């Protein structure tokens, strides 16, 4: 996915394929005819990110009532995400994390969606991701 000059309200969001904690997805196919919320996090196991994912897990039934799917993105691999899910369940008192977490260890999606801080780099020189939330309609357009 080449970097986008900017994702604006009303734009059709990029379609992408990604590995997730529930297996590979094609984003537009995964959305189907529902609403979707894509939210990003800087890294697995960070305290604030852990509480945020726990809260979304606790609200899962409310999202489902509104025909809205949730999906998270974190710049770690699926193996790390799987361990993090166990941590979220233990620390946030949730039985499950019922939504996929996208693996983006090379930050390809984070960069293409504009989820990075251009001035902050990690030890490997990769741009640090920021928290971002995207609300996407059944028409695959950013709302």
Residues serving a catalytic function are: 49, 139
Going by C-alpha positions, the residue among 132, 139, 128, 113 that lies closest to residue 37 is 132
What DSSP string runs through 62-104? HHHHTTEEEEEEESS-HHHHHHHHHHHHHHHT-S---S-EEE-
Whole-number Å distance between alpha carbons of 108 and 103? 10
Going by C-alpha positions, the residue among 3, 1, 15 that lies closest to residue 136 is 15
């Amino acid at each position: 996915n080449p970097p986008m000059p900017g994702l604006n309200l009303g734009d059709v969001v990029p379609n992408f394929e990604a590995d997730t904690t529930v297996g590979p997805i094609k984003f537009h196919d995964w959305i189907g005819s529902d609403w979707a919320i894509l939210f990003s996090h800087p890294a697995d196991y960070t305290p604030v990110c852990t509480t945020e994912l726990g809260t979304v897990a606790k609200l899962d039934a409310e999202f489902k009532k509104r025909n809205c799917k949730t999906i998270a993105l974190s710049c770690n691999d699926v193996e790390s995400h799987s361990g993090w899910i166990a941590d979220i369940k233990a620390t946030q008192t949730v039985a499950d994390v019922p939504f996929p977490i996208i693996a983006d260890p090379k930050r390809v999606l984070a960069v293409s969606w504009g989820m990075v801080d251009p001035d902050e780099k990690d030890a490997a020189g990769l741009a640090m991701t920021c928290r971002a939330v995207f609300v996407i309609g059944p028409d695959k357009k950013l709302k």
